[in-house]
Amino acid sequence: MRKLLLVVFVILCSCQSDKKEKANLKIQSIPQKILPPAPYFVDIKANDVKLGKPAYGDWLFSHKENGQSFEQFVRTKHVVPTKEENIIYLQPIGKFNSMQIKQIELVRQYLQIFFQLETKVLENVSNDIIPNHARRIGDVGQEQFLAGYILTDVLKEENPNKRIALMAITEKDLYPKPEWNYVFGLASYRDKIAVSSMYRMQKEADFNLGLERLLKICSHEIGHMFGLHHCIEASCVMNGTNSMIETDSHSIRLCSLCQRKLNSGFNYDNLKRLKELEAFFQKNNLDEGLALMKKDFEKIKNK
């Protein structure tokens, strides 16, 4: 049987939500008047790196996306935090080594800063929760879990207090359907749930690279849950991607436009968020992210 080579992620890559799903989400009230961007977003826009012409194999080469303006974002139904729903949860599934446990905790810390929402890690669940009919052996002998089963039969049953988003993280490889070799993850934006695998993120990667990939994947996917479409304006964590190489080449930073969208419903302190991101990147020796935050600070200081 010809093996299929999957070059499109479902998490971080395709990440396409169904329009019908969006209609069912709790939504932000549509404003009567859209104000011009605050000075913060105008200042940091100078640090946005415009995307070049897509090359063969790139996401935008094969996906002709129209992008999403700020006006389109605020006039489209999307999830925003409320007093009743304002906590992001991570659900580990599997037997994790000490390095993976540390990475999950760092992902929690990062998401709490990135979205300025409380983020918690739920108690670890054993791989035994996945029945035999939702497992298989992959092309190189690795065990794989059916991603859809985790969404519909594991996560959908969970409703922790004040949950606004729930993402499972597995140490096992995932597959979406029998004819596909693998998938990095899967999501349902209607139900505000997702699953992501650490298995391939850490292949041929040191601790920091594996961590950076997880930070990108989780912030990107949860960003979709809050209504952000793929970004085609600049190098941004919300860019679509067709491969791990393309993922690594995209920025971990939200561009100024995507930051403005996110902030419109959350109303967090932009400077506080920026300082906390800088401190996180510095503490964890993530040099690229640190440099990006410092550049944003410089633009603000020079105004």
Residues acting as catalytic residues: 221
Cα 215 from Cα 228, distance rounded (Å)? 16
**C-alpha torsion sign, points 262, 268, 271, 272:** negative
Cα 9 from Cα 241, distance rounded (Å)? 7
Is residue 121 within 8 Å of 106, Cβ to Cβ?
no
Characterize the bridge pairing of strands 185-188 and 193-197: antiparallel
Is residue 9 within 8 Å of 185, Cβ to Cβ?
yes
Cα angle 242, 113, 228; round to 5? 40
Is residue 144 within 8 Å of 174, Cβ to Cβ?
yes
Helix (H, G, I), strand (E, B) or coil at 177: coil
- Record the tokens describing residue 176, joined without a space: 């979406």
Helix (H, G, I), strand (E, B) or coil at 254: coil
Q: How many CB atoms lie within 10 A of CB 83?
A: 6
